[in-house]
Structure 1
Amino acid sequence: MRETEQLRVFHTGDHVCGYFPERIARDLVIDPRDPRLAQAYPVALGWGFRRSGGIVYRPHCHGCRACVAVRIPVAGFRPDRGQRRCLARNADVIARVLPAERRDEHIALYQRYLRARHPGGGMDDHGSAEFDQFLVGSWSDGRFLELREAENHRLLAVAVTDLVPDALSAVYTFYDPDESARGLGTLAILRQLEWAARDARSHLYLGYWIAGHDKMDYKRRFAPLEGFDGRQWKRLEFDNGPVVEVGSER
């Protein structure tokens, strides 16, 4: 399409892999200064790219293709038994969609989550500026999907979600680290799928999946799941091994 013709794409320098610290990684990044970035973003999602703040990137590591962009075809999804249990366990939780605007309780929950789930991960000192830069961005059409207890309206989780013409993209989810029994990461994806179905959107993009990586393993439970092989999207098939539930990684 014309809006995305002659977009400049850069290689980043080498950096430590966020998933395998012993490996060196690098990314492809669409020129963040290009004024057409918002128009290019839906197409870039279809090419296996991802948004982080104002950056649209795709892993492009020498000798490694472990990161697979994945998405769920919304019309074909049916919750499995474990996901139905998660919905039943959280029958007291209400969801609402809000503009992607930081509030004090959002950043307080985000900071608690980072301290509990990612200590020493380089994000421990994130404040308001970092929150806005990482989760809100300057050009994306984003929303915050809030999950709250119905009775006391206590905030349990926020799923940062981008809207594109025919899909939703799950950018990042943070939640109350003291409520791990609820399975809030799983619940957030289930509520995003319900939202996508209400809006008649075709896909929910889930970022990257890595075979055998415990922080990515939960994504294969959301069947059918499609993966991008560099040229096209194909349905992924998995064995029936145990699934580790972790709901925050990108």
Structure 2
Amino acid sequence: MRHTLPIAPQFYVTAPQPCPYLEGRMERKLFTALQGEGAERLNDSLSKQGFRRSQNVLYRPSCSDCAACLSARIRVADFLPSRSQKRTIRRNALLERRATSPWATEDQYDLFRRYLDSRHADGGMADMDVFEFAAMIEETPIRTRVIEYHDTSTRDLAAVCLTDVLDDGVSMVYSFYQPDRSGDSLGTYIILDHIRIAREAGLPYVYLGYWVPGSPKMGYKAKFSGLELYVGGKWQKMRDPADYSAEMHPLSTDPIAEQVANISLPGSVPARP
């Protein structure tokens, strides 16, 4: 009988490019392909180690002299809504959640374009056309859902979140919403509803992506109780946000080979740089 050994994921590093979070800095990412029969197990494992999914790629910041980006997740059992968050839930009581397969629609793209043009007109996604949008939604080798929120009073599509289902939680890959409803705090509401989704499914965590001290656009994540950050190779309860630094230092990041060697892979397959 022939036996085949599991193929170890190959890890690569992107070329430096301008950081979208901290002005004047350059970002670099460590990444690997997400494909094959072991895609779900690899995604589950690396998500617990600070990686994020973008289509068929898993990535994690690996900047040469900056370690400001910290992966964040909410421990559902420890979450208690603030008074402001309770008001946000009440303001959006007319929204109806619909979970669908990862399939892009014209309504989604129209909302996506309005959101980008209003909120991120100069961002890296600003030039995405309908085909690139469809790829973002549909190119997923794992268990993914599109969570839509419809206004029951107008039947309009108010918000959308592309959501991965992990073995220990839900991961919010990307969300967008009606930009003219800023008073409704739709971004916050989507997170609050994902906490509800995870709780209903018996999943302990909601993965939010990266929190970046010093970046105003990331400040909202620190407002959720039960928040944990991936720091120094382990998850820890978030302290006072002011305790975290975004200062640059030449020893902020371990060498690439050392980073890869410390990545734990499913099935104890050693990673390869």
Task: State the TM-score, normalizing by the size of structure 1.
Answer: 0.89
| 1:145 CA displacement | 1.2
Aligned to 2:105: 103
| 1:158 CA displacement | 0.2
CA gap 1:4/1:172 in 2 versus in 1, 3 angstroms: farther
Aligned to 1:235: 237
What is the identity percentage for the equivalent residue pairs of Structure 1 and Structure 2?
34
Aligned to 1:112: 114
C-alpha distance in 2, partners of 1:15/1:125? 17
Which structure has more RCO (C-alpha within 8 Å, separation ≥ 6)? 2
Aligned to 1:187: 189
Query: Number of aligned pairs?
Result: 238
C-alpha distance in 2, partners of 1:88/1:114? 26
| 1:35 CA displacement | 5.5
AA aligned opposite 2:145: R
Task: State the TM-score, normalizing by the size of structure 2.
Answer: 0.82
| 1:21 CA displacement | 3.9
AA aligned opposite 2:18: V
* Partner deviation per Cα, 1:175-197 (whole Å, 9 max, x = no partner): 01111111000000011110010
Asked whether the 8 Å contact 1:4–1:40 carries over to 2, the reply is no
CA gap 1:125/1:212 in 2 versus in 1, 3 angstroms: closer
Asked whether the 8 Å contact 1:54–1:133 carries over to 2, the reply is no
Aligned to 1:64: 66
Aligned to 2:151: 149
| 1:122 CA displacement | 3.9
What is the SS of the residue equivalent to 1:44?
A: helix
C-alpha distance in 1, partners of 2:241/2:43? 33
CA gap 1:195/1:233 in 2 versus in 1, 3 angstroms: same
C-alpha distance in 1, partners of 2:155/2:184? 16
Instruction: Give runs of aligned pairs for residues 171-250 of structure 1, distance below 5 A.
Output: 171-238=173-240
C-alpha distance in 1, partners of 2:34/2:93? 41
| 1:45 CA displacement | 0.3
C-alpha distance in 2, partners of 1:28/1:147? 33
Bigger Cα displacement from structure 2, 166-175 vs 130-139: 130-139
Match of 2:28 among 26, 38, 52: 26
| 1:224 CA displacement | 1.1
C-alpha distance in 2, partners of 1:93/1:83? 15
| 1:228 CA displacement | 0.6
Q: Which has the larger radius of gyration?
A: 2
Asked whether the 8 Å contact 1:135–1:172 carries over to 2, the reply is no
Bigger Cα displacement from structure 2, 15-24 vs 189-198: 15-24
C-alpha distance in 1, partners of 2:103/2:128? 16
CA gap 1:33/1:192 in 2 versus in 1, 3 angstroms: closer
What is the SS of the residue equivalent to 1:177?
A: coil
C-alpha distance in 1, partners of 2:67/2:141? 29
CA gap 1:236/1:122 in 2 versus in 1, 3 angstroms: closer
Bigger Cα displacement from structure 2, 67-76 vs 147-156: 147-156
| 1:136 CA displacement | 3.1
AA aligned opposite 1:75: A
Unaligned residue ranges in structure 2 (runs of 5+) = 243-273
* Partner deviation per Cα, 1:145-168 (whole Å, 9 max, x = no partner): 111111222110001110112210
Asked whether the 8 Å contact 2:222–2:241 carries over to 1, the reply is no
Aligned to 1:8: 10
CA gap 1:101/1:43 in 2 versus in 1, 3 angstroms: same
Bigger Cα displacement from structure 2, 192-201 vs 141-150: 141-150
Asked whether the 8 Å contact 1:14–1:26 carries over to 2, the reply is yes
1:127 aligns with 2:153: no
C-alpha distance in 1, partners of 2:241/2:47? 27
